Amino acid sequence: MKTRAIERVFRGSETFDGAGVRLLRVFGHRETSLMDPFLLLDAFGSKDPSEYLPGFPWHPHRGIETVTYLLEGSVEHSDSLGNSGVIGPGDIQWMTAGSGIVHQEMPQASPTGVRGFQLWVNLARAEKMRDGAYRGAIAAQIPETTHDEARVKVIAGELGGVHGPLAGISRSPSYFDVWMPPTGKSSFEAPQGRTCFAFIYEGSMAAPDGSKGSGAADTKEGDCVLFGDGERVELRAGPKGARFLLVQGDPLREPIAWRGPIVMNTEAELDIAFKEYATGKFVKTR
């Protein structure tokens, strides 16, 4: 099996989004051609209430899925489908905006602050105007397994016969939260043609043999590693271990028109979406 080399490393940039939430934008607009079908990854985390309590008040989405995974703290959410609740430590929310959802995500005050991630996944042209849907799983529903020298939470996809709690998702993605001890090693299947990346949020990893391109040296906390094509990824933790998200999915290879929280295939479709939002016709009822 061909081992994937490191193709690129994204360092990300600090920014503010929503009503004033401080976050690390790991990748976004500039990387869409490389990360397909993934559009954006934000890592948020702060113990300063002024940097997370402003939250993400009511806003629309169309044409994408948003995936929120929390490590610490809690986030209250509600949407135009009638869903509402609280995302807690270790919980996942996988929301399919489809033809249109309006929702809010509001972090709650906590002595440990709030820490987590939000990933945007593009929808195919044929699915962008499908009905919206909501999937969620609490920490206790997410299985954890040993894989080589790693411990892995299987959020979506399958690993060694262990299946994540979220099924029927577009692009057949896998989403793993992986912990490896100091200098630990692990190998994961990553079928040819799929986009595969790792975001290191604790510790560091050593570059696999044969890595090339920008940033092929050892990687550290806050780095996002895009792997080249192949059939598997071989990973080795640094001297203090590593914890990272390992994500893969099938690319769409379709045109992208992206404006704010809405992602379609053409500018005309974006114009329609924002006009409908302004006139109260955004959320479709069937």
Cα gap 50→96, rounded to integer Å: 29
What share of the chain has pLDDT > 70, as a percent?
Answer: 95
**Which residues pair with residue 80 across a beta bridge?**
none
DSSP structure class, residue 235: E
pTM above 0.75, yes or no: yes
38-65 residue pLDDT tens: 999 999 999 999 999 999 999 999 999 9
Count CB neighbours of 48 within 10 A.
9
Tokens describing residue 123: 């929808």
HSE value, Cβ hemisphere, 13 Å, CA-based, for 221: 8
Q: So what's the pLDDT on residue 209?
A: 52
User: For 254-262, what is the mean pLDDT?
Assistant: 97
pLDDT at position 229 over 60: yes
Scanning the chain, the segments in alpha helix (DSSP H) are: 32-35, 267-278
Domains observed in the chain: 6-278 (2.60.120.10)
Evaluate if residue 104 carries a pLDDT over 80: yes
* pLDDT exceeds 80 at position 143: yes
Residue 117 · residue 145 · CB < 8 Å? no
Whether the pLDDT of residue 207 is over 80: the answer is no
- Average pLDDT over every residue of 81-104: 94
Mean pLDDT of 58-86: 94
First to last CA, the chain: 47
**pLDDT-derived band of residue 286, with 50, 70 and 90 as boundaries?**
low
**Does residue 262 or residue 5 have the better pLDDT?**
262
pLDDT at 214 over 60: no
